[in-house]
Amino acid sequence: MAVKFISHVDQNELGEWFIKLTDTLEESSVICNDLDQYAIKIEELGGEYGGEIEVEWTRSPLLTPANYQALQDGMAKMQEKYQDEIDKLNNKNQEDQNNESGFNPND
């Protein structure tokens, strides 16, 4: 069963966005001020659970449309950067599920 992480997007008193990443099992949180920090922290924290995590995104009603758009744009760039790795993981997970079910498309 996957461990639930909450990624809450908010903005600070300077008007800059940040992500509060919360491990709901440990009830601990870290603040990530950019997506690179977030990627590092989610990998570190998720690694404690063998990568078996579920991420729920929430956002503050105070988050400005400009900050929301900036975050969306950054996430899109990050997804492009890691798309090959994402595809490999998705294919591996699909293969693992097929093997667990006894179904092998190569048979």
- The two three-digit tokens of residue 33, written as one number: 């001020």
Any domain includes 63? yes
86 domain-assigned: yes
pLDDT at 51: 84
- Residue 5's Cβ-count burial label (10 Å; 0-12, 13-18, 19+) is buried
Asked if residue 49 belongs to a domain, the reply is: yes
Domain that holds residue 57: 3-100
Residue 107 in domain = no
User: Does residue 106 belong to any structural domain of this protein?
Assistant: no
Give the residues across from 18 on adjacent strands: 10
Q: What is the per-residue pLDDT across 36-92, written as a single tens digit (0 to 9) for each? A: 999 999 999 999 998 889 999 999 999 999 999 999 999 998 888 777 776 777 776
* Stated pTM of the model: 0.75
Q: Is 15 a domain residue?
A: yes
Residue 82 domain flag: yes
**Would you call 63 helix, strand, or coil by DSSP?**
coil
Sign of CA dihedral 39, 45, 58, 84: positive
* pLDDT for the residue numbered 85: 75
